[in-house]
Every structure is written in structure tokens, then in C-alpha cells.
Chains A and B, each alone.
Chain A
């Protein structure tokens, strides 16, 4: 009798094992709440009734595309037109997002759609042959300069661009006004009078009793576009060559700019913080300027900001060259034609029709990638930030070896922080980093 019970128990355990896995599957397929379609898209009656398809959309934090209510409303519009396609959304962050996607790729479970920028979609996953060419669904009127940044060297469009922004810096206008430092900049054009005036402004704010004016954050790669843009604009130097085949930042002028920042009162090199920490410290009033900023930061931190933020181009003696951000959809080639078609259908829906595209773009809080009437019609912030868009410079984030190059950059800044601040020492560190970055670029062919 005991043996029978023992065998039954064993059987139960084995079965429960199976039951556990079934339960897990059910959990991941829990029905998604789908709010009613918003007005205006109801008219788009089901156009495509086909076999049910489920696709996954993983999105990095791009404006309100991290906000479940906003995304659910967009999905409701889509499902009103395509009830047979279910879209499962997963929200990523910039700390662990890459790990999640890479692990999924290696496990053969890559998402069907991922929303991010060319540095990942083109230079990384696209270059590794993992993405689907979306050339056939690019809407007419997409800005040529944007489209070229989303096109790989072999002519494939691995990113369907949705929005763009010129990354900028920001100052605490109240503090600058109190320190009489607004004289060093032009509030209408959001530019600095000159590089020299930028340093004068920092000194004035520091002399007014603000110990921490700004920081060269280098605790990690997050938001490194800010430090790159600051240094290359101060110096008028470059980060990569025009062909995007080689890194060029180890130059005398860039080293001199960094040395000047090193010596400047009120500017620290902080090896413990990344851009997210810098933004937080700017928002809470610790720093008086942030080098990693864009309209999205002001929108997300609106409730926490207790001062007037003035978005600014980076200081330059010529026309500022701002680091651009272009975000859009990429489709992973998971070998399932039905899912690829469903993913393309989703992207077409979000980008083709102007009315729907405006909703998709406004959810990003960034600028559209084609001329479209009525976008941000009631938004007060957008026109101010959009003044900086024409200053968008070369999109060098697609240079080969980009992953390694990013790592080398912030590590280089950490090492620079431990030097004596001389141009020679800084240049030596820059050369070390650049050599490693170029080796990675060469290895990628």
C-alpha cells in the first residue's frame, strides 16, 4: 500500500511539474485590457480580418511610450482596425533593456517589434542580420536626412523612423538670472554668445554661491550624448569621421576643451553618476545646468521642477551641432512570415495615416519626421524646443564598433578625472580610448 501511495505521489509531482508550466503560459497570456478606441479612429472599421496573430512590441522609454494608458489608447485604435492582431507590450529601460533584448535574441525569443534608435536597430541588431528591411512601408514625405540615418550601409531600412529630437542642455534660468549670467546667452535663439561666454556664465553662477554648476557625469554610458556634444561643440572638433568608419575624437582641440572644463570652477567630473542621476540632481536644484536634456525630460519632470528651465544649444563659436535622436520601429526577423506581416501592418497603421501618426508622435513628445499639419497644435513647450531641431548635427551613432566606443568614452572620462588636467595627459587618455574604439570598428569590418 505504501508503495502505491509513493508511486501516486511521484505521479502527482511529475504532473504538477507539467501543470506549473501550463500555469505559467496562461499567466503570460493573460487577457490585455483594451480601452475603447478613441474618437476619430472608430471610423476605420476592420479592414483586415484574417487569422488571429499575436505579436510583441518592446519599447524603450521614449516619451510617453512608457505610459501604459497612452500606449493602450494607441493599441485600441489599432485593434479597432485590426481586431485579429493582438499586440503584447513590454516596457524596457535603458539600464537593463539591452540585456533583456539580447537575452531574448539568444534564446530565440526576440520581440517582433522593438522601438528604439538607429544605434541599436541599425548599427547593432541590423548589422548582425537580425532585422527586417522596412523599405517597402516607408511613408512618403519622410525627411531624407532622417531616412538616411535609418538606412544601413547595404541600403536596407531597419528602422521606421517615428520621431526625432535634438538633444540639448538646459540651465536653471532663475539661478542664472540671479547671478546676472543671462547676459552671456541669447534666450530667443537658445544659444550661447560664444564659448568664452559660456565659461563666464559658469563662473558667474559659481561666484554667486552655487558650488555645483554642472558635472561631467561618467559613471556609465547612460546619456553620454551630452558629454560628447558638450566637448565637440566647445572645441569645434569631431567625434567620428563623415563616413562613419572611424572615431576621431582624440584631437588637440577636443583635449583642450576638456582641459578647460577640468579647470573650470563649478564643473566637476563625477565618476559615480550617470545622466539619469545628473538630470535628477538638476531637477532638484543641486546642479544649475544639465548636459543631458531634451523636451522629454521637461515633460516627465514637470511636477518636480520648481524653477524655469531654459533649454540651450551646446556652447560653440560656430553653429552648434547638436546630437540627434531618432526613434522608431524595427522588426526582428523571427522566421514567422505571419508575424512579420502583422508587425509591418502595425507600423504602417501608426505611421502612414496623418491623424494616427500625430497621435503616435505626440505620445513620444518629440518632433515628427515628416511635415504633418496639426501636430502639437495645443502644446506650449514643443515650439520652444523645436527651435533647436535645425541644429541637429551628424548622426554618427551608426559608426561601426559603436558599443565598444560608448564604453571607451565614459571610461576615458573617468581616467581623465584622475589626471592632472593637462592637455597632454587628457590627449593621451583620449588616444587610448580612440584606439580601442577604432579596433572594435575595424573588427566589425
Chain B
């Protein structure tokens, strides 16, 4: 059947036009911000990545040289490896832990659920600098609480461990802190998603003899997939963009063992004034995040 286009008279056309104008007027403030603070910087990032750009002189076009240098830069590969370790470790743990906590607290009385939600959300709303400084004190080699407990109280350490100064431990300390600041939002989202699960389906499954485990995985879990997908994507992006912790705690050291792509971008651009090089790294990071997010969406849709 051939679809005939809708014919509007003059008055209707004017009304449609008015509605369009109103819609664009509503969109305008956001569009200005989106173009000014997202699209334009993105374009400039890609554009500048083809230049030898630094402070105090005109940029020099170098084509793909920044990208070539990048792939021959040992520190970039270390940073990429560390970033991937952070993502691979923190994303699954964040999701699983959040789901477990949310499942546990959602069965509690309302007041208890709210209290736990607040507790887990506190590190998210507390300033990252304050949180990081407290962790820095706890990890301190000389008077930190971890060494005090391990050596003086429990006696499981022979001597103090320089948690943030030893390349064996530093990255894992960063991941631990990242986890504490990452789980708050997923827990809140999962609690909300569990509340929204259609109770009649769960009851019907239980009447049909489904165990609590089966009811969770066969009924609740599929209904929470959109939330899980969102959490996966957001946590992945946040893990890739881990920066403040590194800057405040280790500056990428010791011996680049906590260097991440985000910190290396900052370091190249703001410490060494290699703007083009930093932007090239930013482009590569954006591509990696885009590919991973697309894969996650694809996997989520298939489910």
C-alpha cells in the first residue's frame, strides 16, 4: 500500500511551523551549550591532534606524526595497560558488588534501605579531594592506619608497606579507592530497578515453583537489563577517565605504575605543553571508549 503524504491546509501548516519553532526554542539553550562545550571542543581536539601545538608560538601542521609518536611511546603503552587493568577489574566488581548490596538492602524495611543507600552514596557526594586526602592519610607509609593495624595491632606485617610508593601495590590502592567512590550510584540505581520489577511476574513464577534464585535470574534480572547496561557504560567511562585520584595521590608513579591515559593526557598537555600530542591521545581514548560502549550496547541489546 502506498502511503500518501499528509496534506495540510494553510492554517495547519502555520500551526506545525509554530510547534517546530517552539520545540527548537526549547532546545536552543541546551544546543548552545552542547555545541559550545561538547561539539566544538571535540572538533578542536581532533583538529589540534594533527599539529605540533605548544604555548607561545603558531601551531605547526605535522599530519599523523603525533599518532606515530604515540604508538612508539613506551609510557603511553604503560598508561594504556594500567587503564585497561583499572577498567577490567573495577567495572565487574562495581556491578556485581552493587547488585549484591542492592539485592540485600532492597529486602530490608524502608528506613534501613534508605539508610544504606545514604551510606553507600556518601563517598559520591563528598568532595573527591577530601575523600582522596583521607585515603592518602590511611595509606601513609609512616603513620597510616593500614600499616598501624597490619604491623602494630594484627602483627601480619614485618615492616611498614609504602602502599602508594611501591609499584606492586600502588595501582591496586587506586582501584580500591575508585571502587568506594564508584559503587554509590549503581547501588541506588539497582535498588530503584529492583523496586520497579513487576511483582506479579515474580509471584506467578513462585506459584509455578520457581526458587528465589530462579525468580531472580529468570524474572528480575532481564527486567533490570537496561539499568545494568547503563551502569556498565557509565562505570566503564568513569574508570577510563580516572584522573583526580592519580593526580592527588601518585602523579602517575612510582615508575609510571599508576600512569593512566587520562593522567598522561593532562601531563603531556599541561606539564610539558605538548597540546597536539595530548589531543592525539585524547582522540585514541575516545575511540577506545566508543568501541567498548558500542560493544556493551550490542551485548545488552542481544540479551
Contact = CB atoms under 8 A, between A and B. Distances in A.
A111 interface: no
Contact of B22 (A3, A270, A411, A417): A3
Interface stretch (A4-12, A36-44, A73-81, A313-321): A4-12
A379 to B, nearest CB: 33
B272 A102 contact: no
A14 B26 CA distance: 8
A273 B251 CA distance: 10
Interface in A377-430: 403-404, 407, 411, 414-415, 417-418
5 contacts: A13-B25, A13-B26, A103-B270, A272-B170, A272-B250
A98 interface: yes
Contact of B56 (A14, A128, A284, A415): A128
Interface stretch (B90-98, B159-167, B222-230, B232-240): B159-167
B123 interface: no
B18 A3 contact: yes
B28 A414 contact: no
A10 B250 contact: no
A270 B55 contact: no
Interface string A126-167: 011110000000000000000000000000000000000000
Interface in B25-62: 25-26, 28-29, 32, 55-57
Interface range for B: 20 to 34
A212 interface: yes
B22 A10 contact: yes
Given A3-B19, A281-B142, 5 more contacts: A128-B55, A128-B57, A212-B142, A219-B254, A220-B253
B273 interface: yes
A219 B25 contact: no
Contacts of B163: 272
Interface range for A: 35 or more
A219 B26 contact: no
A219 to B, nearest CB: 6
A273 B142 CA distance: 11
Contact of A271 (B15, B142, B254): B254
Interface string A85-125: 00000000000001100110110000000000000000001
A414 B22 contact: no
A14 B28 contact: yes
A439 to B, nearest CB: 12
B142 A99 contact: no
A270 B170 CA distance: 13
Contact of A13 (B29, B142, B162): B29
Q: Chain B interface mostly helix, strand, loop or mixed?
A: loop
A263 interface: no
Nearest to A17: B29
B26 A9 contact: yes
A102 B142 contact: no
A203 interface: no
B22 A403 contact: no
A271 B162 contact: yes
B26 A6 contact: yes
Contacts of B28: 10, 13-14
Contacts of B142: 212, 281, 286
A403 B254 contact: no
B215 to A, nearest CB: 46
B36 to A, nearest CB: 11
A414 B56 contact: no
B271 interface: yes
Contacts of A415: 255
Interface of B: 15, 18-19, 21-22, 25-26, 28-29, 32, 55-57, 139, 141-143, 162-167, 170, 250-251, 253-255, 270-273
Contact of A102 (B21, B57, B170, B273): B273
Nearest to B139: A272
A75 B104 CA distance: 60
A224 to B, nearest CB: 12
Instruction: Kindly list the 8 A-B residue pairs having the minimum CB-CB distance in the complex, ordered from nearest.
Output: A128-B56, A272-B165, A10-B25, A271-B254, A272-B164, A271-B165, A220-B251, A6-B22
B171 to A, nearest CB: 13
A9 B141 CA distance: 58
Contacts of A6: 22, 26
B273 A130 contact: no
Contacts of A411: 253, 255
Contacts of A220: 251, 253
Given A219-B250, A414-B254, A417-B254, A273 B165 contact: yes
A418 B165 CA distance: 11
Given A130-B56, A286-B143, A403-B271, A14 B25 contact: yes
Given A7-B21, A7-B22, A129 B56 contact: yes
Interface in A44-87: none
A403 B267 CA distance: 11
Nearest to A103: B270
Contact of B273 (A3, A274, A284, A403): A403
Contacts of A7: 18, 21-22, 25
B298 to A, nearest CB: 36
A284 B21 CA distance: 66
B141 A270 contact: yes
Contacts of B25: 7, 10-11, 13-14
A7 B32 CA distance: 18
A48 B155 CA distance: 72
B159 to A, nearest CB: 9
Contacts of B251: 219-220, 274
Interface in A1-38: 3, 6-7, 9-11, 13-14, 17
A261 to B, nearest CB: 16
Interface in A205-237: 212, 218-220
A218 B166 CA distance: 12
Contacts of A272: 139, 141, 162-165, 170, 250, 253-254
